[in-house]
Chains A and B, each alone.
Chain A
Amino acid sequence: MNFKKILPQLLTLVVVILVFGFFSYNAQVNMENRGITFGYGFLSQESSFDVQFSLIEYDGSHSYFRAYLVGLLNTILVSVIGIIFATIIGVVVGIARLSSNYLIERTAAIYVEFFRNIPLLLQIFFWYFAALRALPLPEKAEPMFGVFFLTIKGFFVPAFVWNNLDIFIYSVIAAIIAIVFIRLYAKKKQENKGIQTPVLSISIGLLIILPLLSFFLGGVDASVEIPVIEQLSKTSFTFKGGLKLPPELISLALALSLYTATFIAECVRAGVQGVSKGQKEAAASIGLTPNQVLKLVVMPQALRIIIPPTTNQYLNLTKNSSLAAAIAYPDLVLVFAGTALMQTGRAIEIVSITMLTYLTLSITISIFMNWYNKKIAIKEK
């Protein structure tokens, strides 16, 4: 250990400690002056504010912690919807960009260039304040396929009413576990004896048969509830029954998926282009069928390039969903860092919880990604 190595480290450490000390000292003084004590006890207090849209039962009499959960679930909901649609659009557009058809390639390129060069916030505003405001009122809405109603007050879709939903879910979980075991078994069998098992068809069959069995044997029962128009007052109409997707959710999910899809499309394009032609030719020359070439040679290599940046985009989408606060979709930031903060005035506690939540989410995913990257990386000698 020499002086040249210790000094910079010591200096950095001192600076960091000084900055943190300065901040926490001031925070202490400021909180004393305002007569508040630091602590997370407020989480169990009654929140006394309402949230427009919530996946779990919630009203003003519930605690702040429950409000936090409501916000978190709403964030997760919009992220999951966004991720699903972004992936679908992104993969389609990414493949379209590789097309030999000039018109298709150009259309996809224009879409990508256009949507990724416009700020996401602007797109959210556009869908919410401009595009969705042009929709009809509930009483004038034309039904799509007779059961979907797209109105200015939201998107009304039929809902399932379940009996014994838990048994149905158990049957799906059981099917997934069975599939995992069958895959392991099939892999072992192929490694030992070289015999291939039709894993895909068995998996699909299991996924259909087990839940079906639960309907016949487990007493699971589902009926569809169709939204019906209802008059609230002389001029005000709404739909009763079914499921209501508020316009905030729709515009947010739309903007998030259209924006993120452009990045995913580029990832897909880079991935497929990244597999060299020689790989395909080599695979074909050792007698693999075209399907096997795609499944065993091209896809694993393309996915190795596609998946890490795509996961990053999923993470970005989840973080970007916090822009919900701008159009009053009750996500974590709006409910917790907005309303709850205004009511309690506990800036440090609430902002730190919000940031920690996002941080936990990101770090979990990046740890998983690092593990996955290591697993699929080419093992060079």
Chain B
Amino acid sequence: MNKLNFLSPDKNNLYAYLYSGIGLFSLSILIVFLNSFFSLDLTSFLPGTISYFLPLLLGFMGLHLIRIEYSGIKFLDVINKNINTNKFNALLSLLIIFAVIKSLPPLLSWFIIDANFAGDSKDACSGSGACWAYIKTWFNRFMYGMYPNAEQWRINLSFIALAFLGGVGFFATEKFKKYLTLYYVVVYPIIAFLFIFFFISGGPIFFDFSYGIIAAVISIIIGFFIPSKFKMYYFLIIPITIYILLKYVFFYEELIELGKIQAFEWVETGAWGGLSLTFIVSFFCLIFCFPVGLFLSLGRRSDLPIIKYISIGFIEFWRGVPLITVLFMSSVMFPMFLPEDMFIDKLVRVIIAISLFEAAYVAEVIRGGLQALPRGQYDAAKSLGMGYWKMHIFVILPQALKLVIPGIANTFLALVKDTPLIFVVGLLEIVGMLNLAKTNPEWLGFAMEGYVFASIVFFIICYAMSKYSYNLEQKYKTER
């Protein structure tokens, strides 16, 4: 038996140090635990300051005693390596453990123990905890805004259908995989449009969009017979021409007739709101800002000076101003730029504004990816006789986009987090609805519950998105 030296514990008397150390440490935890959960003060016989710092002192001594290197006990080594490497680390670890124990009881009692879950009026909430009855009563409004209750199945059905159609990619067999890009970039957004505008909005707009689809289909069919040399310009001009012909020349009278037929009750966009509006706005902005950003980034790296400087100006302008002023612009300044009789819906204006704003950020992210590619890739593609578009579509962009997945995911996350700003134009998504509910005279004083609820909702959405982007990044990671 060696002499015990409590100032420098070593391996020789391992268990003596270990038991005394664990004893001291457990004692300190016990004191704090009893104090915070049962407000029982074990050390009340000591003077105030000493009693206050005693757990820290005991725990510190305990951790010091079990800090034995290469003890041979696996668990002890893991603990020492992770939370107990030196005195400073031990102190910080203790402080964190105590802080967690101290803050648990108030949090638990607010969230669960003292909280009120039942009831549908303010009187039900008498406890000192959270009033989840408030969230329960207003849940419908937080999800759907002022959308009429009887029609809410339309939103649900649209979202379920879109989620299902969006998930098609996971089930596609190898044979159809090559069409997926086309599906997600062209077909899916159009279907989404139809759902949102025909189903959620209701009213006669459907016929406008059916012309759009007919125009697109006809132009794609004609497109097969057009020499590939002119295809780029063709796809820009012909669909618009066909659309205008259909709408204003061939079927103008019929459209007015048909316009009077309403399949579903018309719900104006001002009544939309809540979390569903958050989804709608982020969804469309995501879809629009990506292609715009892609073209802007290509434009910025173009050899053609006019296109290059217009792209630079555009990108730097949007990146230089806060989103809130952009929304101000879209709500108070933009109507001045339109003819008197022309009116663009508030929601559409907002979606365009946010899309252009985020497109500038997407453009910069993609430019980063383009710049990271070695020149050899461009030279190799050119030496194979590829033109500008062929080179970018088949060689450059697949590699560049792969590189910038994290950056794009960050931009998309920022976009989702920016959607509450649309309160500036009077559209109330979930945060806006919270502020509205907060001022309801029958439900005053529950701001905290509302914000905590919305925080949790946003955290789940954004955290899931960031994890998904991380998986995507791992999936497409290729050795270079």
Tell me if chain B binds chain A.
Answer: yes
Residues of A within 8 A of B (CB): 5, 8-9, 12-13, 16, 22-24, 26-27, 29-31, 33, 99-104, 107, 113-114, 117-122, 125-126, 129-131, 133, 319-320, 322-323, 325-326, 333, 337, 341, 347-348, 351-352, 354-355, 358-359, 361-363, 366
Which chain A residues lie closer than 8 Å to B333 at the CB level?
347-348, 351-352
Which of B429-447 touch A at CB < 8 Å?
431, 434-435, 438, 447
In the complex, the answer to whether B329 meets A100 with C-beta atoms within 8 Å is no
Q: Are B307 and A122 in contact (CB under 8 A)?
A: no
Distance of A117 Cα from B409 Cα, bound (Å): 12
Chain A residue nearest to B388 in the complex (CB):
A4
The residues of A that contact B417 with a CB separation of less than 8 Å are: 117-120
Residue B306 lies at the interface, judged by CB distance under 8 Å to chain A: yes
B458 touches A117 (CB 8 A): yes
A118 and B463 alpha carbons, distance in the complex (Å): 9
Asked if B316 contacts A363 (CB within 8 A), the reply is yes
Which 3 A-B pairs have CB atoms at the shortest separation, nearest pair first?
A362-B320, A117-B462, A102-B82
Q: A122 to B336, Cβ gap below 8 A?
A: no
Task: Tell which of B97, B435, B458 touches A119, judged by Cβ atoms closer than 8 Å.
Answer: B458
The stretch of B22-30, B262-270, B418-426 in contact with A is B418-426
Instruction: Mark contacts of B312-337 with chain A using CB atoms, 8 A cut-off: 1 yes-contact digit, 0 otherwise.
Output: 00001101111111001100110011
Number of residue pairs A-B, CB distance < 8 angstroms: 152
List residues of chain A with CB within 8 A of the CB of B413: 117
Q: A119-B418, A348-B333 are in contact. Are A358 and B320 (CB under 8 A)?
A: yes
Name the one of A9, A101, A333, A351 contacting B332, with C-beta atoms under 8 angstroms. Answer: A351
Residues of B within 8 A of A33 (CB): 340
> Is B447's CB under 8 angstroms from A118's CB?
no
Q: Known contacts being A8-B304, A16-B310, A322-B325, is A119 close to B316, with CB within 8 Å?
A: no
29 A/B residue pairs, CB under 8 Å, sorted by A: A9-B304, A9-B305, A12-B306, A26-B336, A29-B339, A31-B336, A33-B340, A99-B89, A100-B89, A101-B85, A104-B92, A104-B96, A118-B455, A119-B418, A119-B458, A121-B421, A122-B420, A125-B434, A129-B435, A130-B448, A325-B324, A325-B424, A333-B325, A347-B333, A351-B332, A358-B325, A359-B317, A359-B320, A362-B316
Query: Nearest Cβ in chain B — how far from A130, in angstroms?
Result: 4
Beta-carbon contact of B324 and A23 below 8 Å: no
Q: Which residue of A lies closest to B332 (CB)?
A: A347
Query: Which residues on the A side are within 8 Å of B431 (C-beta)?
Result: 119, 121-122, 125
Q: How far is the CB of A99 from the nearest CB of chain B, in Å?
A: 8
Which chain A residue shows the least CB distance to B466? A117
Tell me whether A355 and B325 are in contact (CB under 8 A): yes
Contact A326 B322 (CB under 8 A): no
Q: Which residues of A contact B71 (CB under 8 A)?
A: none
Q: How many B residues, CB 8 Å from partner?
A: 57
Tell me which of A100, A121, A359 contacts B420 (CB under 8 A).
A121
Chain B residue at smallest Cβ distance from A322: B322
B93 within 8 A of A: yes
Residues of B within 8 A of A130 (CB): 447-448, 451
Question: Which residues of the other chain, A, contact B466 by a CB distance below 8 angstroms?
Answer: 117
| B residues less than 8 Å from A101 (CB atoms) | 82-83, 85, 89, 92-93
- A333 pairs with B85, CB closer than 8 A: no
| B454 surroundings in chain A (CB, below 8 A) | 122
Residues from chain B with a CB closer than 8 A to the CB of A114 are 459
A118→B452 CA distance, assembly (Å): 10
Task: Pick the contact of B92: A103, A131, A361 (CB < 8 A).
Answer: A103
CB nearest neighbor in A for B89: A101
Partner of A30, one of B83, B336, B420, B421: B336
- Determine whether B7 belongs to the interface, using a CB cutoff of 8 Å to chain A: no
- Contact between B435 and A359, CB atoms less than 8 A apart: no
B73 within 8 A of A: no
| A125: contacting residue among B305, B320, B435, CB under 8 A | B435
Task: Name the distance in Å between A353's Cβ and chain B's nearest Cβ.
Answer: 10
Please give the distance in Å from A345's CB to the nearest CB on chain B: 9
A1 to B431, CA, bound (A): 55
Is B328 a contact of A333 with CB atoms below 8 Å?
Answer: yes
